[in-house]
Structure 1
Amino acid sequence: MWSWFGGSSAAKKKDLPKNAILTLRQQLEMLQKREAHLERQMNEQDAIARKNISTNKNAARAALKRKKQHEHSFNQTQSQIAQLEQQIYSIESANINYETLKAMENAGKAMKAIHGGMTMEKVDSTLEELREQHALGEEIGNAITSTPLGEPIDEEELDQELEDMVQENLDDMMLKTGQVPVTGDIGRIPSVPNGPVKGKAPATREEDEEAELKRLQAEMAI
């Protein structure tokens, strides 16, 4: 659009609006000074005409004639000032529109560069992949928190190990006491009271130990 002013380089195009506005403002300033000068001349001739209206009508007429000439130039100057002000406004508006359009074009290029090769298909594919990974993470988390660590315990194996331990204890007692406990008889072993029985002499220490041993054997054989 700035080709109207001439020039083809980017630098000249950029400076054209600024230079045009600068020239117009200089001309506007000169016209405004001329406007003020013509207004003073009009006032002076008006004063001369009023001064001689009664005593010298020819001088008054000549003053009014000069006033009319100044008034004609004054009106032309005001018209030129209005045209220059309109031109300055138009160039400023056009330059603002141009800079705004250029900024919008740069924004469009930036958005295009940001989006790159993005398409709605790629966006949908990426979102679907994220949903799948999220679901997989949920499944893994649930599996970790709901599944006990290690292998399940074999209850039969546990019972067998317990029986082996009982048998080992019985074997150790048999080696120490020299007696083989009988399962049928163990249940009939009388319990030995903790304190002394009335009417009998207090039991010796060896008897207490032997009674305690038999009670323990009876409990382990159950």
Structure 2
Amino acid sequence: MSFSKIFGGKKKEQAPSTGEAIQRLRQTEEMLNKKQDFLEKKITEELKTARNKGTKDKRAALNALKRKKRLEKQLQQIDGTLSTIEFQREALENANTNSEVLKTMGYAAKALKNAHQHLDVDDVHDLMDDISESMDVSNEISEAISTQPAFDTVDEDELLAELEELEQEELDEKLLDVGPSVSDRLPDVPSEAPAHREKAKKVDDDDDMAELAAWAS
């Protein structure tokens, strides 16, 4: 057993949070900026004193310049310190941002896991299959409803034949409406025409017989 455990060693100091550290650094930066302003004013005063004393009081002028040199060195050191603090503060701010982002992502991951814990991949696939099947049935019903019934279909050739028949009937009716037929408008043939035709036929027969007798003699 170590002496620190027996007599009670110094407790390990708890690390500050990034927010606390950033706040402390900002306070330090503010203090150093004020110190810079003070040093710059002092440097201006010492430079003014050196000019005023000049060759009249060399010792006082030289001492003023020495103090100005020391002040400038302090100012330079503060500039370096401020640069280091600024770099450290920015690093902490970035770390704090990353920490907050990670916390938010972890919170979202837990919420997503909680949302999915009651879901099963197989159940989701089954649900999607049911939806797809329902959509297919719905499409079939829509097509069946939109299809023209069989009893409403008519043979087009049959309709054309009926149309032609109607047109012919209309044409016949127009012909009947014109007036007497052509035969009714022709002049009457004389009654003696048949006797004349019989006489002409007898003359032709006699000529044929005479020609036949001449050929035979």
Q: TM-score, normalised by structure 2?
A: 0.54
Alignment of 1:112-151 (within 5 A): 112-118=113-119, 120-137=121-138
Task: Tell me the distance in 2 between the aligned counterparts of 1:145 and 1:92.
Answer: 67
**Residue type of the partner of 1:94?**
A
Aligned pair in 2 of structure 1 residues 60, 126: CA closer, same or farther (>3 Å)? same
| Consecutive unaligned residues in structure 2, runs of 5 or more | 1-12, 150-217
In structure 2, distance between residues paired with 1:29 and 1:93: 20
| CA positional deviation for 1:44 | 0.9
Counterpart residue identity of residue 14, structure 2? G
Q: Which amino acid aligns with 1:55?
A: K
Query: SS of the counterpart of 1:29?
Result: helix
- Give a deviation string over 1:87-140, Cα, whole Å, max 9, x none: 222211110111011111111222222233545543332211222233345556
Counterpart Cα distance in 2 of 1:45 and 1:102:
54
**Partners of 1:141 and 1:65 in 2: CA distance:** 101
SS in 2 for 1:83: helix
Tell me, yes or no, if structure 1 residue 96 matches structure 2 residue 104.
no
Instruction: Note if 1:22 corresponds to 2:23.
Output: yes
Task: Give TM-score, length-normalised by structure 1.
Answer: 0.52
In 2, Cα distance between the equivalents of 1:63 and 1:140? Answer: 104
* Residues 12-51 of structure 1 aligned to structure 2 (within 5 Å): 16-51=17-52
Matched pairs, number: 137
Aligned to 1:6: 14
Deviation at 1:141, TM superposition (A): 7.0
Which has more radius of gyration? 2
Superposed CA RMSD: 2.9
2:30 is matched by which residue type in structure 1? E
Q: Structure 2: how far apart are the matches of 1:39 and 1:139?
A: 89
Question: Equivalent residues in 2 for 1:35-184 (5 A)?
Answer: 35-118=36-119, 120-137=121-138
